[in-house]
Amino acid sequence: MAANATGRMAGRRVLVIGAGQETYGLPADQVTMGNGRAACLRVAEEGAAVACADLHLDRAAETAALIGESARAFLVDATDEASMTETFAAAVDALGGLDGVVVNVGMGGPMWLSGTSAEAWDRTFALNARAHFLGCKLGLQHLDDDGAIVLVSSVASLKPGSRIPAYDSSKAALAGLCRHTAFEGRRRRVRTNVVVPGLIDTPMGRRATRDRPSRTEGQLPLGRQGTAADIANGVLYLLSSEASYVNGQLLVIDGGLTTIH
């Protein structure tokens, strides 16, 4: 356990959907840690056993290897109900139950409404909204009482700017899904919340900035982008007992971008 860890997740069992590391074609020396891997490592530092699931098994396995014996790796297609059902069952079997679920998957899409086909819209929603719906549905079925679900969204759900209508809209859908899942889970005290990252220096963020260099200009109230560690700390908080009275909420981690910019 890391020197600054307090063991606040000791005994907890967490499934992270989207636990691998994507590079988006960046050179190796430009690849920073992504939110999913960072979340896995952070909750493991605090004592959790982690089921690392990803569309690419080798990437999930790399994350699990960084954690050690308390982690397991699983292959999952987060858009496919049968695959998600199988992965949840396998994680429960491997860890002996579940206390937390994190859904950290997403993709962009074509720019502008005029450039977005119905097929592209549906493809983005399949990953950015349907996957989270499946995570919530299966989470409520498998989580022990007092469990927690954390969905990962984006500030694109709160303000325009990405120029990708399917991305903005699908990320905005997570707020409604969160509220409903929190409502259904309340009798067993299963909490559901959303982490809303701002401009974060992940491989996906770096690719977006490479494609649109002006993306961050004038958009950094604290003078820097966030890091995957900032997001992982938010996920950790919402999974932990420290957030036992936080339910159905959006935790915006954006340096003030949506409130003071």
What's the whole-model pTM score? 0.93
The answer on pLDDT for 5 being more than 90 is no
Task: Work out the burial of residue 156: count CB atoms within 10 Å of its CB; fewer than 13 is exposed, 13-18 middle, 19 or more buried.
Answer: buried
Label residue 22 by pLDDT band (50, 70, 90): confident
**For the residues 92-98, what does the mean pLDDT come to?**
98
Do residues 168 and 156 make contact, with C-beta atoms less than 8 angstroms apart? yes
**Which residues are the active-site residues?**
167
d(C-alpha 234, C-alpha 257), whole Å:
17
- Mean pLDDT of the residues in the chain: 93
Least confident residue range of 80-84, 87-91, 193-197, 215-219: 215-219
Residue 2 scores a pLDDT above 60: no
- For 13-260, CATH number out of 3.40.50.720, 3.40.630.30, 2.60.40.420, 3.30.200.20 equals 3.40.50.720
| Residues 192, 183: Cα–Cα separation, whole Å | 9
Gap between the Cα atoms of 37 and 55, Å rounded:
13
Q: What mean pLDDT do residues 144-167 have?
A: 95
The mean pLDDT of 235-250, rounded to a whole number, is 98
Q: What residues contact 166, with CB distance under 8 A and at least 6 apart? A: 109, 110, 116, 120, 121, 124, 125, 128
Per the document, the length of the chain is 261
Strands across the sheet containing 191-197: 71-75, 49-54, 13-17, 98-103, 143-152, 191-197, 250-253
